[in-house]
Amino acid sequence: MAFVTHQFIRTISSTALRNAAIKHVTIIGGGQMGAGIAQVAAATGHSVVLVDTSEEILKKSAKGIESGLKRIAKKKFADKPEAGEEFIQKVMKNVSTSTDAASVVPGTDLVLEAIVENLKVKQGLFGGLDKVAPEHTIFASNTSSLPIADIASSTARLDRFGGLHFFNPVPLMKLVEVIQTPATSQATFDSLLDFSKALGKHPVSCKDTPGFMVNRLLVPYMMESIRLHERGHGSKEDIDVAMKLGAGYPMGPFELLDYVGLDTAKFIIDGWHDMDPGNPLFTPSPMLNKLVEEGKFGKKTGEGFYKYK
């Protein structure tokens, strides 16, 4: 009887979660990704609270969101500037900011993290918020390289924890990778899929494997391009041209590395190498390591594989 009662309660809980649409979203991290997700969520009628450590960061985030909306309004309401201004104001009313996540989380349906790619920092964040979030609240990470299960391990809601990996720039990129760990309930996963669709995105279902789908293919491709260059089998310029004209890619691998950030690429490949040192696809690159040591991270520093000054 106890088993039946327990199963009945779990069924009711899962059904309630599946039927409850995500309406209020708390986004932790006011950087480019977090602000982009906030913009899209607010524009699709969700109530959004953007959280970061300082008011200065949040003011910059809000300004960035408003600028993004102005670009959309200029195209969407080219002949009706007043309607465009009304659109901007309506969306901005859906966005609020806070420097205190713990005070916001008790009223939210989804907590989505878009902070630094550091496992301990993410675990500390979710471990603390788990104590104050309601039972129905779903947790999700926007990580591009860390295992979702490892991040979720700091909480007691493994069944209500998944991944939502957006792509930069969020307002323009249609794809969202929705990640399900072995412990993620189907109700939670379905809610994350539905939320992604409500944002006007195209979700794909992913298992909790290194890099999920896109980065699992993309990062080894970029690393093999560097190795090809290291072996003297092609210049970076010719490799970029070959992939653009031969494979139809909009950017060559070295251009893409500079855009993504060489420090980010190194962080990802080093982490994967630590997890699976025997995998040749995850072998670090001496050339990449040297550039990062010299502070040449790509476009954001003015120099990487190419110079931008």
177 included as an active-site residue: yes
Flag whether 96 is marked binding. no
Choosing from 94, 165, 196, 285, the catalytic residue is 165
Q: 139: closest CA among 100, 107, 165, 113?
A: 113
Provide the 3-class DSSP secondary structure of residue 205: strand
Flag whether 30 is marked binding. yes
User: Other C-beta atoms within 10 Å of 106: how many?
Assistant: 12
Flag whether 252 is marked binding. no
Choosing from 185, 215, 225, 285, the catalytic residue is 215
Choosing from 177, 185, 191, 225, the catalytic residue is 177
Flag whether 23 is marked binding. no
Distances (CA, A) of 188 to 8, 192, 212, 216, 307: 18, 6, 18, 24, 45
Judging by DSSP bridges, how do beta strands 138-141 and 95-98 pair with one another?
A: unpaired
Flag whether 56 is marked binding. no
Flag whether 68 is marked binding. no
For the chain, the straight-line distance linking the first and the last C-alpha, in angstroms and rounded, comes to 72
Flag whether 34 is marked binding. yes
144 included as an active-site residue: yes
Flag whether 39 is marked binding. no
Choosing from 144, 145, 154, 185, the catalytic residue is 144
Flag whether 300 is marked binding. yes
Flag whether 307 is marked binding. no
DSSP secondary structure letter of residue 113: E
Residues 6 or more apart whose Cβ sits within 8 Å of residue 305: 236, 254, 255, 257, 258, 262, 291, 298
Residues belonging to the binding site are: 29-34, 52, 117, 122, 144, 168, 300
Catalytic center residues: 144, 165, 177, 215
> Annotated binding site for NAD(+): which residue ranges?
29-34, 52, 117, 122, 144, 168, 300
